[in-house]
Chain A
Amino acid sequence: MKQQSFLNTESMDRVLIVILFLAAIIVPTANLGFNQDHMLHISSYTVSLLGKYLSLALLALAADLVWGYLGILSLGHGAFFALGGYAMGMYLMRQIGDRGVYAHPELPDFMVFLNWQELPWFWYGFDSLGFALLMVVFVPSLLAFVFGWLAFRSRVSGVYLSIMTQALTYALMLAFFRNEMGFGGNNGLTDFKEIAGFAITADLTRVCLFLLTLFTLIVCLLFCRYLVNTRLGLVAIAIRDAESRTRFVGFNTVSVKLAIFTLSAAIAGIAGALYVPQVGIINPGEFSPLHSIELIIWVAIGGRATLYGAIIGALVVNYSKTMLTGVLPEVWLFALGGLFVLVTLFLPKGLAGIRSKR
């Protein structure tokens, strides 16, 4: 029997939240409080790295929501993440103003060298943070809604749906790589200077972004936990386990799936928006189909259908990746591949499964 108390959270949720809270206190103090040579100092590099991990964990959370609790294996969630990232990137590009290489007050550098005379229509409005934030949520949700509406209505499910999500992210990747599209092509959007008036490379900004990501993660975790225990969530789980039966019993499965799929896309978009200022670049490679598969592996490793498992999985795998490419650069693919195989074979419930006494 699960322990259900405050806010419907599970015990692991609470453990995780406590750890995150501790990090929220320790990391900024260690970074801002001590100076560079102090033993307890945490470098800004590490702060941004942790922030990056947390935004990826948020993405994994979104993926687990649709996969663990709705049964939709989305192999294209990276697309929503990247769209949110691009929306934020576009805002940050507008903030560069005339500090770019070509010193054009309105056009980003890449447009100047493409000889464009004016800003394309889809860039209007991105000089306002509010509008950009709106787009961060709106654009991935819109795409998810349209795609989902077409797919769920026709009862596309299972492997077909997964392959279609791959096709979707692949098509978007090809599109965004084209310089004509107006999103910077292969160079992507980079060389950011400021966010909301604060210098993007300042220590304080990094810490704030880190904290923002962390709290967004906590809030989304709580919200998702709450969601899966509502009626909507329970219907979703029913759809995951026996879709036809749920439909026959009378529930509108299409609406439920659509709602949760769109919500998950919105969360992924937010994750992308938090990722970009901390990493400093967004490029069409984020749309890569392999990326989207990798993030599913994070969820699988952490433990599908647990929510906290997705977060743990994302943190563990990305940390290992950073470490291995630093320590054993030539062998890290072996380690990563081996990790995937071993976890699938011996830890089918992921790391979270170790805890369960089954």
Chain B
Amino acid sequence: MNKKWLKNIAMGGALSLGLGLASPILMAAETIKVGVLHSLSGTMAISETTLKDTMEMLVEEQNKKGGLLGKKLETVVVDPASNWPLFAEKARELLTKEKVDVVFGCWTSVSRKSVLPVFEELNGLLFYPVQYEGEESSKNVFYTGAAPNQQAIPAVDYLMEEAEVTRWVLAGTDYVYPRTTNKILKAYLASKGVKDEDILINYTPFGHSDWQSIVSDIKKFGSVGKKTAVVSTINGDANVPFYKELGNQGVSAEDIPVVAFSVGEEELSGMDTKPLVGHLAAWNYFMSVDNEDNAAFIEKWQAFTKDKKRVSNDPMEAHYIGFYMWAKAVEKAKTTDPAAIQKTIIGVKVPNLTGGMSVMLPNHHITKPVLIGEIQEDGQFDVVYETDGLVAGDAWSDYLEGSKDLMSSWEDPIQCGNYNTKLKKCGVK
């Protein structure tokens, strides 16, 4: 009998605690709420936890400077657990329940596409820090990561000119970012005279672990006497066994260089980089960039995370830029109201961490430099190439049939994300 009562009490207690926690928590003073929508568990946690930490650091820094509009900033962190439906749910929770003023989040295009309807419905603001495939420009999203013309195309140019590559392997994970990027690259290569038989395209599922056959195929493809390179849009966990297999089968960077778009300092920290020396990555930022702003940022970051060996990477810089752009726009508009921010943020200039100034364009993309880096033994990248100036992000690729006539501008008078310049209409193919 006692045991049963005990159980009942325990149940009741747990339930009421639960209900209590679920009820709105009253804040002592009014704050500006910054929502953080990054996975803290599941497959994407590897990449996204760092971004949550970055946001917390940026907010803390801003509060030290007195906050914004005289109020303190507060981060509201939720965990969508690498689960796409949960992303949409958590986005809605942030916007309607927590009433955040802005959200920094998402990683893969799936997560962004699943929250997009929510942001558009509730007119929220999302700052998306990861490179993506373009073909989208929403009024409610600011794309601080690279568009294909800020990463993929310059990388291919570099390989064609510097490394004199004439034969191409486009290897990607099977989802929309690699598929679209490869579509664009295929059209671009064709426009440069590369024949179909000199292009090998391959897709693997997320987390693919047995790369023996594919690496062997790459070796065979690359041993017909033409300089071959691999353009890798392989994402996430699959990179580790892929690079391990490359090393094991003796594919050296001098023979068949691999340029990756989703491998940064963070991913390298989980790999043995000795056999990878000489392979490449294309980003808009590297931790190794020698620059005062960057050095200060890294110092603060390592102090904040209490880890002297903690690395920084491109998506972190994207959040850095996005956050300061938002802050500037808020100060300009004297409010955090999304409709006002959407007007004031266009044209805002903030310094990036590679020594330049990034500007927010009317299509909600930013200007970024393109850097090609070679993997070093210590897991850092050595910059081997840099674009002369900053490249403006282009949402609609000039190399795709359906997109080359489209452009995006959220300024008056166009106010359209997929404006057809030929037909002079919004939203028609």
Contacts and interface: CB of A to CB of B under 8 A. Distances in A.
A and B touch in their complex, CB below 8 angstroms: yes
Interface of A: 43-46, 48-49, 52, 101-104, 110, 112-115, 174, 177-179, 185-188, 190-192, 201, 279-283, 285, 319-320, 322-323, 325-327, 329-330, 332-333, 347, 351, 354
Given A113-B135, A285-B83, A323-B18, A186 B110 contact: yes
B28 interface: no
B92 A45 contact: yes
Contacts of A104: 429
Contacts, number: 119
Given A179-B175, A280-B117, A325-B78, A103 B7 contact: no
Contact of B136 (A101, A283, A323): A101
Interface of B: 4, 7-8, 11, 18, 21-22, 40-41, 77-81, 83-86, 88-90, 92-93, 96-97, 108-110, 113-114, 116-118, 121, 135-136, 174-176, 179-180, 183, 203, 205-206, 402, 418, 427-429
Contacts of A326: 78, 90, 93
A283 B110 contact: yes
Contact of B40 (A201, A280, A329): A329
A185 B11 CA distance: 42
Contact of B85 (A102, A103, A179, A281): A281
A195 B336 CA distance: 34
Contact of B174 (A102, A103, A177, A279): A177
Contact of A191 (B11, B84, B116): B116
16 contacts: A46-B97, A110-B176, A113-B183, A186-B108, A186-B174, A188-B110, A190-B113, A190-B117, A191-B116, A279-B88, A283-B110, A283-B114, A319-B18, A329-B41, A330-B40, A354-B11
Given A43-B97, A103-B428, A333-B41, A186 B8 contact: no
Query: Interface majority SS on A: helix, strand, loop or mixed?
Result: helix
Contacts of A280: 85, 88, 114, 117-118
Contacts of B79: 325, 329-330, 332
Contacts of A333: 41
A204 to B, nearest CB: 14
A176 to B, nearest CB: 11
A103 B427 contact: yes
A283 B84 contact: yes
Contacts of B428: 103
Contacts of A323: 18, 21-22
Given A285-B84, A327-B21, A330-B79, A192 B117 contact: yes
Contact of B97 (A45, A101, A281, A351): A45
B96 A325 contact: no
Nearest to B118: A280
A140 to B, nearest CB: 19
A201 B117 contact: yes
A241 B203 CA distance: 48
Contacts of A178: 174, 205
